[in-house]
Structure formats: structure tokens, C-alpha cells
Structure 1
């Protein structure tokens, strides 16, 4: 007994399907030939073997197998569908129509045969017949979306864009996750002379249907940040919505979902606390809390800058097709990173309370101010780097190394004031040094932060922000051109 004879039908057919998925049609045809000897009464070896020959252009062999299938497996829908496809590929409309007719006669209530019949009529320009077959296909199945998609495509074929819009909306109502429908309804709105709605649906196709809930005036986005406060509000609302949607999408791909928002920073904090705070104590009192009060703001800054660095490159296809401003992409990355790091800050406060009861004091009331200043700094640096990368893409490879160097220059794991000579004096001009010192003042020492240092950080961030405004306003068209290159 050969190895193939020892297989069950399910195992044998799975073995033959593997080369088909890989596009190895000759290997698949050879396996199906073997299984036709073993399983003569099963339609799969005949029909799948026909497909394998068709994909190689061997229509004579395919038709021989389909002749057998039509004789012995007439009650199998794929017999007639594949026969019609083979006739279509060989340019025989008469035989294609004949096989579809015989299939409908043999099975009567199979939606796919009516859907293929509608597609056949549509190719020949017989719209009325296509509508009739499509209506029957929609009547025969309530679970499949294909007949409804075809229903919308028939309206597009007629150039009836109002009908197309309504039919694509029906597809969306039934399958909100069917992304192609958003692109097609966007095209319908474009043909109807509604560019605002067209761009809204194009955004939904790109970033998810929840964006349709936001009343974004994308068509006038060019003036949104400079001239109209209400449009600025809508722009920021879109940024926030997209950041939240990204978090939902990211969480939905894991078994623990939103739990990772807590678990990821918690694991980081525990590892650093045990490794540095307990095993490699740097001689600083309460070093574990000292380390974490520098590490948490650094993690926020690092993630936000790294994820925003290539965000404009990632969004260039959308800029080419719509008026979405380039600022949108790094802002989404920064806001998303901010949401992810807020739980880490809460965990820091909890760990501080567990390890040092003096860490909870009235000085924590200054914490929102420090967070706001860091957010301003993070936005300004993140947007600046995101604006540079499209014009010097090789620099993206240096972001990780540069951030590691910056970490060691920011006093995350040591007290910069204890450094010898003038090194500590020079490092104090690093705005992250001042921010981390402010966090340690209110969390570790229970004292008010250095307002001069925070003011310096705010002024530094504002200066970078003004530079960003100049870059983004002057280079808008160049960002788009880079996306087309």
C-alpha cells in the first residue's frame, strides 16, 4: 500500500491543496491525478484537477475532467461554475451561457450560479438581465455579501452614481468591515460632485469606518489650523479619534486586549526596578524610585518620537489622494503613545506609595503641569523629526541609536549633578534633564519643581514648535511629492 493510499480523503485533499495555494499547479495536477484513481466517486479530484490544468492553460485536459464532472456530479455547483469559467477563459460566450443555464436547471436555488449569470450578462451589456439574475442571487442568500457588491457594481456600470451610492451604503450597513465599499462610495460621491463626502469615505477606507462619526471638513483642511477655530477643533478631534482607533485595533489583535496597556509598562517597571534598583544600586538613596521616576517620562518620550518619526512616510498615499495635512500623522502617533504611557505614570505613583510613603505629597498637584510641558516638548520634537525623515530617509535608521544616546545624556539612570567637572553643567541644557528633575522633585522629594527649568523646557519646545509651523506650511507640497516618488 502506497503512502497516499493510507491517507483519509480529508488528508489526501489537504495534501493536494497545498501546492495549489503555493501556485505549483503542475504538482497539484499530478496529485489530483493520483487521487482520482483512489477516490473516483468524489468530485474534488476532478474539479480541483480541472482548476490545476486551467491555471496552466491546459484547457483540453481541464475540459476532459469537467466532462466527467458534468456527467457524474451534476448536482455540484462548482461543476457548472468551473465549466462556465473554462468556457470564458477560452472565449466561448455561447458555452459559458449554456453551462450557466444547465447549472441553474440542475440546482435551481444556488445563489452563486445566479450571481455568475448576472456577471455574464453584465459583461455583455445586458443590464436588465443582469439586474434580474442579481435580484435572484440576493433573494437566495442572506449571509453572503457578494450579490450586494455586484448589485452596486451594476449601478456603476450604468453610470447611475446615485444608485451606486445607495447600494454601496447597503453593503456597508450589512458588512461595516468591508473596506472596499468605502472606497467605492467615495468614488460615487466624487462623481456626484461631493468632494467633502468623498474624502470622508476615503479616510474611512484608510483608517476605519469609525472616522465617519467625526464631522471632519477635510476639503478645507489647508486653512484648518490657521483661519478657523472650529476647523481646528475638528482636526484635533480627528487626531484623537484616530489615536483611539489605533489603540482599539492594536488591542483587538491580542488575547488580553486592553490589559497589555497596563501589563507592558508594568513589566518594564518591575524589570528595571529589580535589576537596577535592587541588584545594581548606583549609590543613590531609594534608587529604585529614583530610576523609575526618570524612566517613565523617558519611555513616553522615546515611544512617541520613534513611532512618529516615519509616520508621514506611512501616510503619504493618503496625502496624495486627499487634503489631509501632514501634521495629522505624527500627531496621531504622539497622542496614541501618550494614552499608552498614562497607565505607566499611575503605576509609578502606586509603586512610589508602596516603597516610600513620603512620595505621596501635595507636591503631586504640580504633576499635571509637568506632564503638559513634556507633552509640548514631545509634540515639537516628534513633529520636527517626522518632517525631516521624508527628505532624508536614511536618518530613520539612526533614530534608535540616537534615542539610546539621548537616554544616557538625560540622567535617566544617574544623577547628572554628581558628574565631575563641567559635564553636569553642560547637560543641564538638555530639556529632558530638566523634565526628569521636575518629576523627581514632586515624586521622590515631595518638593515643588524648578519653575525656571520648566520654563526653559516650555520656551525650547515653543521655539521648535514655531520652526515646525514654518516647515509644515512651506513644505506641504513637497511632502506630497515625496509620497509620489
Structure 2
């Protein structure tokens, strides 16, 4: 039945009816299969026998009422539900279906009566609560509908559809700002969108709480995105390590063995360039069109445009950092001489790369809605930047002034810093780190200015 193989299921239920004549399930389920096949007369015969044998079982009357509903025979449907209530007066589902029938007949007052009994019969079921709120909507009593949806959310805060329904109720009351807040709650979690209660707080503390709240929202969305991404594969999180490891093997065989790169300990050398680069490249490529992809959400909420590229960068960081740590540990295990106290510089280097990635991702994501053609050049630009960053070779060994010019590439400096700390066991070049800080600060400043000047235009650009 789960696979909707109704004919086969019907035949099996026939066998069960012969072998287990004292159980109602083979009769009700068999009738359901026949109804799905469109054989309503055959289903009626089975249900008639079931009502004679198992009149005390609510499922018999529920399936009989469903049979009548499919035939659009409301009189028979009401008759079966009434008989079911006579045999099972406190069965919540029969009461719930009776209320639904009254709604379809336009008897909202009687529907309220049945619904109240259904809620009292089983207080753990959510269906009568939803019906309770929908009845208020049918009466266009929006304050009462709001109150009922709130009651449902207090009992079932994880019910996402209730947030959307409550949002529509608030729109009907002209409370669009509250409606946006509840729509966001349904998508990203109610616990992050609850108003921060600070009755005696100063403006600065409110601003700090708002920033922390925004950071929580970014992290939560990134975690949900990562979980969704990994759930679509069989190996799940294992791909976090497998993917860069496959790239490492390919580049090592091609450049280390076939083309003889001439670099000592080329595997670890390649590792120190490849893993940071994959982190950077994935963050930039996924964040480039993130604001365009978030246009629908921006149309219905007042969420900041910077939210979308930040989520992409954080998600790429959460995905690549385990690979960075695992693969670097693997590399260090194969070359013990590289272990030194200078490895303590690694957290600072990782933070600097994160800030550099965020600053560039924010700027590119902000420009692309205004220059859509730029999105087609991001992949090509990243490929060119990869070869200019010394991922697979030492750019300092380039002839002439080429190596000097490549030192103005912040990613080349960043990868060189990783290799200096891990391969050579030396402290990072402070002039190189200062250069990265200057570039990051410049890009971040430009991005902040651009976002502030064009904040109201992002949604408008998405409609073109």
C-alpha cells in the first residue's frame, strides 16, 4: 500500500480476510485498496460485512464515511459517522471527521461543537487543533484565529505550516511586520526569531544583541544547509574528506609523478595549497549568486541581503574545516619533522583566510545582482586565480618578475603562509600577514559601503 500497488495489496488483504476472519484490518484495508482502484461496488460489499461484524471498531465507520465522501453522498457519509459515534462516542477521529463534514455543509456552529468534543477526546492529537484554528478563519474572526494558531504553536512549536498560516492571519489584520517574522520562524526556527526582551537595556546593548541574534541565524541556516546537502548522498559527511583527498591524488599523480614537479615532499606541499584553496573557491562560488537566490525571501521579509553570502561562506567553512584538520593531520603524520611550536599560528591563519573569504564573497555577491553577466565569469576567474596562487607549484620559483607580481595575490600569500608554517616549521611572514589584513580591510570596507548605499535596491534588481 505504501508503494501504491493497490491491486496486489487488495489480493493480499483477501488472503488475510480468509486466514484472520476475526480482525477488522483486512476488511477496512482491503476496502481502501478497492476504493483506490475505483471499484466502489466491491468496496461497498466488504464494508457492509465489516459493519455487521465489527461495529465497535471506529476504523470501520471511518472507512465507510470515506467511501461515501468519494461518491459525494453526504447523506450516507453523515449516516455512517452518526452510527460510528453511537458505537464509539469518544473516538476523536470520528468527531473530527464529523466536524469536517459540517464545514463542507456550511454548518460552522455544529462543526465547532464536534471539534470541541474531538479536542477533549484526545488532547495529544494535532489535527483537531488545526481544524479549530481553521474554523475561526472560516468565520473570518482573525483575532480568534490568531489566538488558536498561537495555542497550537505553544503545544507543537515545530509545526512549520502553522507559522505560515498564522502569517496569513496577521496579514488579514494588516500586521505585515509580524507576518514577516512568523514566516521567517517557519523557515529558520522560532527560537531565533523571538523578540529579545531588554526593557532596561541601552541602545548599544540592543545593537550587540541584534548582531548576536543575526550571527545565530546565519549559523543555524548554514548547519541546516549542510545537513540537507549531506543527506542526499549515501556517504554523507564522509565526502567532506573524500572529495579533497580525490583531488589530492589526481594532482599528485599528474604533477608529482608524471610531470615531476621537483618539490620535496610534494604530497604535503600540495595538501597545504589544495585544501585551503578548495575552501576559498567553494565559498566564493556558492556565495556569488546567493543574493539573487534569496530574492523571494527578501520580497516577503526585511532580512539583510548580507545574510545570504554569509550563510554560503559559513556553510563552506563548516564543510571544509574538518577536511583541513583531518588531511593536515594525515600529512603531518607522514612527516614528523614538520612538527613545531609554530603550528600554533594555524588558528590565526585560518581566521585570516575566513575574513578574507567573507570580505570578497560579500563584495562579489553584492555586485552580481547589478551585473548579472559577472556570475558567468566567477568559475573561470577562480580557475585562473588557482593557477596564479601557486596551489600546485611554488610561485616563488617562477622566472623573472612573475613571482614578484604574484606576491600581490592575497591567496598566493595565504597558501605560502600555510606551507611556511607546516612544511618548514617556521613562523609566518609578518609582512605577508599584514598585506592580507590590509586587503581584507579594504574589501570589507568597500562591501559595507556598497551594502549601505544599495540596500533598498537589491530586491528591485531581482525582479528584472
Whether the TM-score (by the shorter chain) exceeds 0.5 is yes
* Cα RMSD after superposing both structures: 4.0
Tell me how far 1:153 sits from its aligned partner.
1.5
Between 395-404 and 464-473, report the one with greater CA deviation.
395-404
Whether the 8 Å contact between 1:84 and 1:97 is mirrored in structure 2 is no
- In structure 2, the partner of 1:154 is 135
Give the 3 Å change call, closer, same or farther, for CA 484–110 of structure 1 in structure 2. farther
Between 315-324 and 396-405, report the one with greater CA deviation.
396-405
Give the 3 Å change call, closer, same or farther, for CA 174–276 of structure 1 in structure 2. farther
Are residues 1:79 and 2:64 paired? yes
- In structure 2, the partner of 1:118 is 99
Are residues 1:317 and 2:296 paired? yes
Whether the 8 Å contact between 1:70 and 1:80 is mirrored in structure 2 is no
- In structure 2, the partner of 1:10 is none
| CA distance in structure 2 between the aligned counterparts of 1:284 and 1:214, rounded to whole angstroms | 57
Whether the 8 Å contact between 2:119 and 2:129 is mirrored in structure 1 is yes
Unaligned 5+ segments in structure 1 are 1-12, 21-27, 54-60, 218-223
Whether the 8 Å contact between 1:277 and 1:288 is mirrored in structure 2 is no
Are residues 1:439 and 2:424 paired? no
TM-score normalized by structure 2? 0.79
Tell me how far 1:163 sits from its aligned partner.
4.2
Whether the 8 Å contact between 1:216 and 1:235 is mirrored in structure 2 is no
| CA distance in structure 1 between the aligned counterparts of 2:432 and 2:366, rounded to whole angstroms | 27
Tell me how far 1:309 sits from its aligned partner.
2.2
Tell me how far 1:187 sits from its aligned partner.
3.7
- In structure 2, the partner of 1:206 is 187
Are residues 1:408 and 2:393 paired? no
TM-score normalized by structure 1? 0.76
Whether the 8 Å contact between 1:291 and 1:413 is mirrored in structure 2 is yes
Unaligned 5+ segments in structure 2 are 19-26
Whether the 8 Å contact between 1:277 and 1:287 is mirrored in structure 2 is no
Whether the 8 Å contact between 1:80 and 1:102 is mirrored in structure 2 is no
Are residues 1:138 and 2:119 paired? yes
Give the 3 Å change call, closer, same or farther, for CA 177–263 of structure 1 in structure 2. farther
How many residue pairs match? The answer is 442
Are residues 1:186 and 2:173 paired? no
| CA distance in structure 1 between the aligned counterparts of 2:326 and 2:357, rounded to whole angstroms | 21
Give the 3 Å change call, closer, same or farther, for CA 95–321 of structure 1 in structure 2. same
| CA distance in structure 2 between the aligned counterparts of 1:408 and 1:284, rounded to whole angstroms | 17
The CA deviation string for residues 222-246 of structure 1, in whole angstroms up to 9 with x for no partner, is: xx99x94543343233223333444
| CA distance in structure 2 between the aligned counterparts of 1:309 and 1:216, rounded to whole angstroms | 36
Counterparts of 1:238-277 in structure 2, within 5 Å, are: 238-247=217-226, 260=238, 263-264=241-242, 267-268=245-246, 271=249, 275=253
Are residues 1:339 and 2:298 paired? no
Between 107-116 and 272-281, report the one with greater CA deviation.
272-281
| CA distance in structure 2 between the aligned counterparts of 1:136 and 1:364, rounded to whole angstroms | 68
Give the 3 Å change call, closer, same or farther, for CA 386–266 of structure 1 in structure 2. closer
Are residues 1:372 and 2:357 paired? no
Tell me how far 1:443 sits from its aligned partner.
1.9
| CA distance in structure 1 between the aligned counterparts of 2:381 and 2:262, rounded to whole angstroms | 27
| CA distance in structure 2 between the aligned counterparts of 1:216 and 1:273, rounded to whole angstroms | 54
Tell me how far 1:329 sits from its aligned partner.
0.8
